[in-house]
Amino acid sequence: MKSPKRSTFVTINYGRTRFKQILLTNNMKNSLLIMFFSVISILISCQSNAPYPEAMQQAERYISQYPDSAFHYLDSLHSSIGNEPLETRMYYGMLVTKARDKMYIEHTSDSLMKEVVRFYELYGDDDKLMEACYYLGSVYRDMKDAPRAITAFQQAAKVGKNSRRYDILGRIYGQTGTLFAYQLLYEDAMKSYRNAYTCYLMQKEEAGLVYSLRNQGRMHESLARPDSAEYYYKAAYKKALETGNQQIVDDISVEFGKIYLNLGKPDSAKIIFSGVTDLKDDAIYLNGLGMIYQLTSQPDSARFYFLQALQEQRPSQSIYLKSAVNKALATLEAEKGNYYSAFSYAQESLKLRDSIKKITRTEAIGKINALYNYRLTEEQNVQLVKENKTKNRLLISAAICMAAIIYSCFRYVKKQKRIAREQEKRLADLKNEQYKNSQAHVLENEKEISKLELLQQSEGDEDKLTPQIELLKASNQEIQLAQKKKEIVERILKKSDIYQLFHQAPYRQDISVTAANWVKLQEIIDKTYDGFTKRLYVLCPKISEHELYICYLIKIQIQVKDIAKLLNRSASAISNSRVRLYKKIYREEGNPEMLDKFIIDL
């Protein structure tokens, strides 16, 4: 629809000009009389006893819930509205703007609403002037002119300070708060959102109350007040449930769940997300599920939902979210050792961050910093530009640091894998060595000897298989000799004074274990078991003195309860130490008995 012609204001503008001329040429008394009659004539010319056209009345009834239908009725009057009284034309213009606003059609020109506001400033209908100022502010909001938008909203609030149109006042304060928040004026935004909440409370508009509470939660989050943010989101969520509107519940749930994730409460976030029904394809919701599974150490599920969030054209998907999701995927892949994939995701995240920096710079210089902030001087605006440059440098530094961290993680994981492979080889060699000296090996050799002897008898060629048989018999003799030697040295160990001292100490008050006693115990154990301590250090270089003492006591077969007494610990503490030591050696979970067996066999 075209804007009404400016000729409609000829009478008003003429009255103003004429009044100024009289004011300069006549005395004050005559001037006041002229002004009085001029205002009366304007009001009479604007007023009409005739009701609005039927189509306008229909538009009024439908505009809140069915703005597209209201717009249809208004459009039907496009050709005939010029014949209506001035006030009807002005109200018609405001209804058109209102319908477009509710249909989320972006406003591109302020000429119509500026004319409507000027009219109602003279006409004197405060409720309509308040609403006109609100929609003028909405026009400037869409035109990215935040200063004039704030001025228009503040004028609307001032005009409507005594109004009972709490629904409009709630929207005025809500929009003002959003503009303040857009300019990072979170405290001012908070005040506006509180005023919006009060208005919606008076109106008993449940949806308005929900979003006012949520907006206050957003501001507390931006101000790094996590406890307050949680409080307001919780209140918004509770109020949303009371509305019975699932769309409102879903809107709040997605954000509330994210708050819980930021607070490190994945279980609470999962409960909130479970109530979402209509946003299953929403990128923010899917990212939230991914974060839940990442925080609860379920990397495969986390990876699935992060990839789902990255699928093209997901609702609520943004460059900021895609950057964060790629960073999370890089971390997951690095933890799994998929360094090529981790690097690809990290590179994509950094690439998106570069785009974010360009967007931020463009918005900051071309939009935010170009906007006049009513609180700040021109000198402060220059300072804001400097701060943004500093932020950009910090973002670059952060990107470099992130690359360095990923590289360090790669090197660390690679080193850990090498150490793990070497440990696996050492343990495998130890197991093989223990088997070669075991009774099981003797029995296996005997079975092999029996087979060879039978084969020898059947073939009748003794010379061919005799060397193999003799070699196996010699091997068995060596093993049995070693076992016998071990039995002898173990008997010597058990008869030693130091062995007896450690076995008696838990039960006798007159015996105390000294540092010298531990040295003697180590010496006799190393002598009996072929350098036990050195071999243990090879397998576990980071073993502590406390853990070493536990191993000595296990080796001389002291019970756990007695070990606890000797080391002045509880039995459960000793068990925990055995579990930790087993994990140090094998790099996997185990139980105390598994460590005991390892130490006895070593």
Give the count of alpha carbons within 13 A of 17, CB side only: 6
3-state DSSP helix/strand/coil percent for the chain, to nearest 5?
A: 80, 0, 20
According to the model, what pLDDT value does residue 49 have?
52
In order of 436, 450, 456, 472, the CA distances from 443 in angstroms are: 11, 11, 20, 11
CA dihedral 314, 319, 324, 330 (to 10 degrees): 90
Token pair in block for residue 573: 């503490």
pLDDT digits (tens, 9 = 90+) for 332-378: 888 888 777 877 877 887 777 777 666 655 555 444 443 444 444 33
- Residue 126: pLDDT above 70? yes
Q: Nearest 5°: phi and psi at 138?
A: -65, -35
80-94, 101-115, 431-445: least confidently modelled range: 431-445
Mean pLDDT of all residues belonging to the chain: 80
pLDDT digits (tens, 9 = 90+) for 252-301: 887 888 888 888 888 888 788 777 766 667 877 788 777 877 777 888 88
> Alpha-carbon distance 9 to 41, whole Å?
14
> Alpha-carbon distance 106 to 114, whole Å?
17
* Cβ-based burial of 10 (10 A; exposed 0-12, middle 13-18, buried ≥19): exposed
- Residue 5: pLDDT above 70? no
> pLDDT class for 219, splitting at 50, 70, 90?
very high
Q: What is the CA angle 12-142-56, rounded to 5?
A: 55
- Residue 27: pLDDT above 60? no
Model pTM score: 0.48
Whether the Cβ atoms of residue 556 and residue 502 lie closer than 8 Å to each other: yes
- Residue 231: pLDDT above 90? yes
According to the model, what pLDDT value does residue 95 have?
92
